[in-house]
């Protein structure tokens, strides 16, 4: 320890003079802090600003709107990351916790953003009734619900598919639960988690309109941001404003890609799990600039040493949350009591729900919601199948070529972030112009924002596919069909299942804004459960909002239990066998 401190002091003496990269990094840091401080100050402004009757469509207002939206999304992303690390770890480590947490995650993923807003916006606004902060919390929470589930599923999948040799190595070194988590599990999960974090950030743009332009019955809130700007432009049928919003989104995505995600992808490359080095190492000009600093690297070395000490600390496993699954008390009696408690809670909630619903709803309402749910289910299944056939081959091709992946990443992020709401004018015009059926031709809008979950997860899986296995397949001259069947598809299958689960849940969510669209006074209804929930939300009919959400949750959970979870278990077994 004394030797390390002496080395650090000597390095500080040698590098006490700053160079121009130090000043460049310092200037960017100060600029980010100033902008963040300005945004935070606005978040605590008076509520009257949030209830302004109109959002300005002047292009000069877009820089401030872009800052406000980005801050909300980054705040939601930080909360989502903390939620992922805690929730995903407990679910992966404890068999009993998994029985509750993963089905609960299925339900949470299936609840649409409008569903959360319908029942939480009044609560959040009441926390700060005279300030915008309550409305800001409501918007951040709504964006969080569009980001967290994808990241949590990815992290859970990574923890459950740790390669057997890494598992044995950690046990051989007698790592504690804390050490194993930070030195084995988190590094192994990092590439997939970062790609899914990018996808979550981009996917949040799809729902930013609903989260910033909140309409629940008589309650209407318009928070300054790109989402509310787009909502006003669509309401007024202002194509020029839509174009300005697209430009502002493109610039915003490019900035946070260069300053945040590109450095993260380059940094996470060192966590690739393979025995041979990658042909091309991802690069980031931010990281290259940081490596050329002198004073900054010296001072941050102390922070890095402290983080390493914390990560390598040997904590008692008895007090660690990561040891939940290794409890020696695993008798049949405890299992029976646990299952009984779960069933009792479900039965109680079911009876209470039926008691409340009986006073407001009848059998006709249930049949109507179920019929609409069946139509949306058919759309989701068809669209996921089409997206799989298109994006799995493309994702593999991109993931196996780091140079191509580096070029495709910002393009894919922009396409993933592009809200389908901005395509509604084109969809409405074409459907009305050619007398097309909204029931059929509104369906593609559901998959526009969610197909990227499949692409990003497949790219993540292909990018960490061991190079030595690819070289072995080439050496044995495995044919193209067998290469897909026996080499690549088994290798990326866990990642694909994660992407398909989140894409499926995202498609259900997207149905809220895709099955009932409008462009000014022109409104189209494609039927389905999403249109049903959207209509009831606009009317403020809470019992039928709850009914629509309940039907959607049941369908999503059933789809996950009967299809995706068996595939997920199969992928986990294949990984363990390999």
Taking only the tens place, the pLDDT of each residue in 465-523 is 777 777 777 777 777 788 887 788 888 888 888 888 878 877 887 787 788 887 767 77
What is the structure's pLDDT at 229? Answer: 87
Residue 261 has pLDDT above 60, yes or no: yes
- What is the model's pLDDT at position 371? 92
Determine the pLDDT at residue 325: 46
Token readout for 382 is: 């068809």
Helices 363-399 and 542-559 sit at what angle, rounded to 10 degrees? Answer: 50
Report the distance separating Cα 485 and Cα 491, nearest Å.
Answer: 10
Say which residues have a Cβ less than 8 Å from residue 403's Cβ, sequence separation at least 6. Answer: 280
Question: Average pLDDT in the 319-334 region?
Answer: 52
451 or 540, greater pLDDT:
451
* pLDDT value of position 503: 84
CA distance 36 to 28: 12
Closest CA to 377 of 153, 568, 110, 147: 110
In the chain, what percentage of residues exceed pLDDT 90?
A: 5
> What pLDDT score was predicted for residue 459?
86
The per-residue pLDDT for 536 is 83
Q: How many CA atoms lie within 13 A of 91 on its CB side?
A: 25
Mean pLDDT of the chain: 77
Q: Which tokens in the block code for residue 313? A: 């600390």
Q: Which residues are 219's β-sheet partners?
A: 216
Q: How sure is the predictor about 386, in pLDDT bands with cuts at 50, 70 and 90?
A: very high
Q: Which residues 6+ apart lie within 8 Å of 572 measured at CB?
A: 160, 161, 494
Contact yes or no for 134/51 (Cβ under 8 A): no
pLDDT at 323: 45
What Rg do the C-alpha atoms of the chain give, in angstroms?
A: 25
Inform me whether the pLDDT recorded for 530 exceeds 80.
yes
Q: Which has the minimum average pLDDT: 45-54, 77-86, 180-189, 245-254?
A: 45-54
Note the pLDDT tens digit of each residue in 370-383: 999 999 999 999 99
Average pLDDT over residues 364-370: 87
The Cα 228–Cα 231 span in angstroms is 5
Q: Identify the DSSP state of 525.
A: E
Sequence-separated (6 or more) residues with CB below 8 Å from residue 162: 184, 185, 188
pLDDT score of 313: 65
pLDDT at residue 1 in the model = 47
Q: What is the DSSP letter of 319?
A: G
Sign of CA dihedral 191, 193, 196, 200: negative
Confidence class for position 87, pLDDT limits 50, 70, 90? very high
Say which residues have a Cβ less than 8 Å from residue 64's Cβ, sequence separation at least 6.
42, 224
The pLDDT of 280-302, averaged and rounded, is 74
What sign does the CA torsion over 470, 473, 475, 477 have?
negative
* DSSP type of residue 457: H
Q: Is the pLDDT at 77 greater than 70, yes or no?
A: yes
Query: Where does the pLDDT of residue 219 fall: very low under 50, low under 70, confident under 90, or very high at 90 and above?
Result: low
Q: What is the average pLDDT across 75-100?
A: 88
The fraction of the chain above a pLDDT of 70, given in percent, is: 79
What is the pTM (predicted TM-score) of this model? Answer: 0.74
Tell whether the model's pLDDT for residue 12 goes beyond 90. no
Run of H or E residues at 548: helix 542-559
- Dig out the tokens for 185 from the structure: 């599990």
- Residue 372 is classified by DSSP as H
Report pLDDT for 274. Answer: 57
Name the pLDDT band for 50 (thresholds 50, 70, 90): very low
Closest CA to 355 of 575, 158, 543: 543
Least confident of 38-52, 113-127, 311-325, 406-420: 311-325
């Amino acid at each position: 320890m004394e030797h390390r401190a002496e080395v650090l002091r000597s390095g500080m003496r040698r590098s006490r003079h700053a160079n121009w990269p130090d000043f460049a990094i310092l200037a960017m840091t100060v600029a980010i802090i100033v902008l963040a401080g300005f945004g935070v100050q606005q978040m605590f402004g008076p509520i009257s600003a949030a209830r302004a009757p109109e959002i300005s469509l002047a292009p000069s207002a877009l820089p401030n709107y872009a800052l406000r939206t980005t801050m909300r999304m980054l705040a939601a992303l930080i909360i989502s990351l903390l939620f992922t690390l805690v929730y995903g770890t407990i679910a992966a480590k404890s068999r009993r916790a998994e029985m509750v947490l993963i089905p609960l995650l299925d339900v949470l993923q299936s609840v649409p953003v409008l569903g959360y807003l319908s029942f939480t916006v009044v609560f959040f606004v009441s926390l700060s009734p005279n300030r915008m902060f309550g409305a800001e919390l409501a918007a951040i929470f709504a964006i969080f619900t569009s980001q967290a589930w994808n990241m949590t599923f990815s992290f859970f999948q990574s923890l459950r598919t740790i390669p057997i040799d890494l598992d044995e190595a950690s046990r051989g070194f007698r790592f504690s639960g804390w050490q194993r988590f930070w030195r084995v599990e988190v590094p192994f999960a990092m590439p997939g988690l970062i790609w899914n974090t990018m996808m979550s950030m981009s996917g949040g743009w799809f729902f930013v309109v609903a989260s910033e332009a909140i309409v629940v019955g008589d309650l209407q809130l318009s928070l300054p941001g790109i989402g509310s700007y787009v909502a006003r432009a669509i309401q007024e049928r202002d194509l020029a404003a839509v174009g300005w919003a697209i430009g502002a989104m493109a610039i915003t995505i490019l900035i946070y890609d260069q300053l945040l995600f590109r450095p993260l992808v380059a940094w996470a490359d060192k966590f690739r799990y393979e025995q041979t080095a990658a042909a091309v190492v991802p690069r980031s000009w931010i990281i290259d600039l940081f490596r050329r600093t002198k004073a900054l690297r010296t001072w941050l070395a102390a922070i890095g040493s402290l983080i390493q000490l914390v990560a390598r600390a040997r904590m008692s496993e008895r007090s660690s949350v990561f040891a939940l699954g290794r409890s020696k008390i695993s008798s049949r009696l405890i299992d029976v009591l646990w299952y009984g408690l779960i069933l009792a809670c479900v039965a109680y909630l079911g009876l209470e729900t039926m008691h409340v619903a009986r006073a407001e709803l009848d059998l006709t309402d249930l049949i109507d919601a179920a019929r609409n749910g069946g139509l949306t289910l058919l759309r989701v299944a068809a669209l996921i199948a089409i997206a799989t056939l298109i994006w799995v081959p493309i994702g593999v091709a991109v993931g196996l070529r780091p140079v191509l992946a580096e070029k495709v990443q910002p393009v894919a992020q922009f396409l993933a972030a592009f809200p389908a709401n901005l395509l509604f004018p084109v969809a409405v015009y074409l459907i009305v112009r050619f007398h097309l059926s909204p029931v059929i031709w509104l369906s593609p809008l559901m998959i526009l924002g969610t197909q990227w979950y499949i692409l990003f997860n497949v790219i993540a899986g292909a990018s960490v596919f061991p190079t030595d296995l690819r070289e072995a397949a080439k050496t044995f001259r495995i044919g193209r069909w067998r290469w897909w069947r026996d080499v690549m598809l088994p290798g990326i299958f866990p990642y694909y299942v994660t992407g398909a689960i989140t894409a499926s849940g995202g498609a259900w969510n997207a149905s809220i804004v895709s099955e009932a669209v409008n462009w000014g006074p022109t409104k189209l209804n494609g039927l389905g459960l999403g249109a049903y929930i959207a209509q009831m939300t606009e009317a403020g009919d809470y019992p039928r909002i709850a009914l629509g959400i309940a039907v959607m949750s049941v369908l999503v959970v059933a789809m996950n239990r009967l299809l995706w979870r068996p595939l997920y278990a199969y992928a986990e077994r294949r990984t363990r066998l390999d």
